[in-house]
Amino acid sequence: MIPIRPVFRVLYAGLRYRLDTILSDFVADHWLRWFLPATYLPKPKSSSATRLKQALIHLGPIYVKFGQTLSTRRDLLPAEFADELATLQAKVPPFDSKIAVERVEQELDAPLAELFTSFEQEALASASLAQVHAATLLDGSEVVVKVIRPDAEEAIHRDMRMIKGVAKFLERVSGIARRLHMIEVVTDYEAAILAELDLTQEGKNTTRLRTNFASSELLYAPRVYTHITTKNILVLERIRGVPVSDLETLNALGADVKLLAKRGVETFFTQVFDHNFFHADMHPGNIFVDITNPKKPSYIAVDCALFGTLSTEDQTFIARNIIAFFNRDYGEIARLHVESGWVPDESKIEEFEELIQELLEPFFEKPLSEISFGQFLLNLFTAARQFEMEVRPQLVLLQKTLLQVEGLGRQLDPNLDLWSTAKPFMDRWMKTKYGPLKTIQATLDHAPEIMLELPFLPELLATARRTITKLNYKAAYQHQRINELNTSLQRAKRASFARRFVGVLLLGGTVIAWNITRAPPNSFFTSTLLAVIGICGLIFLLSR
C-alpha cells in the first residue's frame, strides 16, 4: 500500500515551489493545462530551475541524488536547469557544524584537540547524505573529515516506503512494470543508497579503487585513515584538484580537456571490464582533476560509497552487444538477447532483428561525435521491450554510470567521439578474454578433466541428437502446460472479481431498496425479498 504522508510531501513541495509552471510548459497545447494552477495563478518571481532545485532539497537525499544525476545530462536538459541542478553536487545547505563536531567526538570517543591540531568549523562541502570538514592530524597530515547527516537514514526510509508502494502498485496493474522487475530494482536501489550511509564500506571501496589504479595515470584515489574511521565518520587524505565542472579554470590553466574527456571514457571501461569494480556515482561533484601536468591531466575520485560489479555473463553480454553495434551486426544483437535470456526463447529472431535495425540504424546517419550511449541503450531497450524483455536489476547501476560518464565527457568536449575511444578497448578486451591464447590457456588448465572425459566423447556424440530432441519435446510440453495454467488462473481471477462485483451490486441494491421503503417494510414479502437479496450479496462478496 502506498504511504499517504510521503505522497502529500511530494504534492506539497510541488505546490509550494510552483512546479506546476514546469509541467504547464509540457502540456501548453493540451486540454490538461486547464487543470493546472499555473493557468490561473500569477507566475513566480524565481526561475523554474531554481524552484525545482529548492523542491528537491526540501524533499530530501533521494530526490537530491536524482537532481545530481539529471545535472550531468546537458544533452537532455536546457542549460539553465543543468547549471542550477549542478549546484546540488556539493552545495546542498550544510547542517549545523556543532552537530558535526559532537558527532565526531562521540564516534571517535575523544575531544577534537586529542585528534586534530585544527578542525575547520565551516563545512568544506555539503552533499545530500553528508558534509565534509577540513582538518589537520597530529602528525601534520592534511585530511578531510566526512560526517553523515543526522537525519539522513530516517529520510531515506520514509521516501523509499512511498517509492516501494508505487512500484508494487505499478507491478499489479502493468505488465511492463512486471517485466522491468520494478520492485526488485527499487529494493536494490534502496540497499545501494543505504550502503552509502556506512562510511567504513566507503573507506574499503576507496582503498580498493586506489589499489586498482596504483600504477595508472588515469585516476587517483585518496588515502584512507582507517584507525579513525567509523560508520558515521570517514577521514581521508585531502586532495588538491580542480572540480571537473570548472571548465573556466581548467582552460585558464592550459589543461588538455579533450584528452581529459577521452581519459574519462577509458577510465570507465577499465573499471567495468578490467577491474569489474566501477564507481557508480560519477557526477561532477565527485570528480576532480589533477593538473600538475596540464598536458596530461588525470582524474581524482572521491565519494566512493556506491560501487558496482557485474557477473562474467553480464560483462560478456554487454561487451558483445557494444561490438555488434560498432559492426552494425543487428542479427548478433538479437541472438545475444535471446541466448542470454533477456527475451523469451520463442521470440522470432528475424522480427526482433528488423526492429533493432529500424531503431538503431539512424545512429549511423549522424557524425560519430553526436552518437549518444544513453540514446543507444534507450533505443535498444525500447526494441526489446516489445518482445517482453526482462531488465536485470544488477545492470541499473551500470546504465546510470554510463549516462553520467557520457554527460561528463560531453561537458568537457562537446565533440567527443565516444566510439573511437571505446571500440579499440572493447576489441582488445574480447581478444584477451576469448582470443586464441585464452582458449589454449583454458584448455591447458583443464587438461586433466578433459582427458578423463575423452573416453565418453564418442557415446555422447552418438546420442546427442536424440537427447536434444527429447529435451526440446519436454520443454515444449512444459511451455504448453504453463500457458494452460496461466489461462486457468486468469479465468479464476475474472470469476472471483465477477462474484465480488455482483455481491457488491446486490448488497448495495439491498441497502438502497431498504432506504427507499423506509423500514419497517410495507409487507412481509418485501422484507423477505430484501433479506434474501442481501444474504446472496454477502455470500457473493465473501466467496473465495
Please give the Cα distance from 369 to 441 (Å, whole number).
39
pLDDT-derived band at 544, boundaries 50, 70, 90: very low
Alpha-carbon span 157 to 62, nearest angstrom: 10
pTM: 0.67
> For residue 329, which of 363, 362, 361 has the smallest C-alpha distance?
361
pLDDT, residue 299, reads 96
Residue 58 cell numbers, joined: 526540501
Sorted by sequence, the CB contacts under 8 Å of residue 149 that are 6+ apart come out as 61, 95, 129, 130, 131
**pLDDT tier for residue 531 given thresholds of 50, 70 and 90:** low
The angle at the Cα of 128, spanning 127 to 129, to the nearest 5 degrees, equals: 100
Q: Kindly state the average pLDDT of the residues 231-244.
A: 94
Instruction: Give yes or no for residue 237 having a pLDDT over 80.
Output: yes
Average pLDDT over residues 488-509: 63
Which tens digits make up the pLDDT trace of 412-462? 888 887 777 787 888 888 888 776 665 666 566 666 777 777 776 777 777
| Residue 340 φ/ψ, nearest 5 degrees | -85, -5
534 compared with 381, residue with greater pLDDT: 381
- Over residues 178-207, the mean pLDDT reads 81
Pull the grid cell for residue 106. Answer: 562521540
Q: Please give the pLDDT value at position 413.
A: 87
Question: Looking at 182-196, 241-255, 491-505, which range is the least confident one?
Answer: 491-505
Residue 271: predicted pLDDT: 93
Q: What is the pLDDT of residue 126?
A: 85
d(CA 280, CA 220): 16
The pLDDT mean for the chain works out to 78
Asked if omega into 520 is within 30° of 0 (cis), the reply is: yes
The pLDDT value recorded for residue 519 is: 47
Q: Is 131 exposed, middle or buried (0-12, 13-18, 19+ CB in 10 A)?
A: buried
pLDDT of res. 284: 80
What would the pLDDT profile of 94-137 be if each residue is shown by its tens digit?
889 999 999 999 999 999 999 999 999 999 988 778 899 999 99
Grid coordinates of 314 = 553480464
- Residue bearing the bigger pLDDT, 78 or 234: 234
Percent of the chain exceeding pLDDT 90 equals 24
Q: Mean pLDDT across the stretch 492-519? A: 57
pLDDT at 227: 92
Is the model more confident about 49 or about 193? 49
Q: What is the mean pLDDT of residues 279-300?
A: 90
Confidence of residue 158 (pLDDT cuts 50, 70, 90): confident
Residues with a catalytic annotation lie at: 281
Which residues have C-beta within 8 Å of that of residue 40, sequence separation ≥ 6?
none
Q: How far apart are CA 358 and CA 463, in angstroms?
A: 42
Q: How far apart are CA 68 and CA 470, in angstroms?
A: 54
pLDDT of amino acid 1 = 55
Q: Is the pLDDT of residue 479 over 70?
A: yes
Q: What is the mean pLDDT of residues 321-339?
A: 82
Contacts of 176-183 spanning 24+ positions with Cβ under 8 A? 176/385, 179/385, 179/388, 179/389, 179/390, 179/391, 180/390, 180/391, 181/390, 181/391, 181/392, 181/393
Residue 275, pLDDT > 80, answer yes
The DSSP H or E segment spanning 243 is strand 242-243
Residue 180 is predicted with a pLDDT of 60
Given a contact cutoff of 8 angstroms between Cβ atoms, the answer to whether 379 and 360 are in contact is yes
| Range 308-331 average pLDDT | 83
pLDDT, average across residues 376-380: 66
Which residues pair with residue 233 across a beta bridge?
Answer: 147
| Measured distance CA(116)–CA(140) in Å, rounded | 9
Closest CA to 514 of 530, 537, 498: 530
Q: How confident is the model at residue 352 (pLDDT cuts 50, 70, 90)?
A: confident
Give the H/E segment covering residue 42: none
Of 55, 47, 50, 67, the closest CA to residue 15 belongs to 55
CB-count exposure of residue 403 (10 Å: 0-12, 13-18, 19+): buried
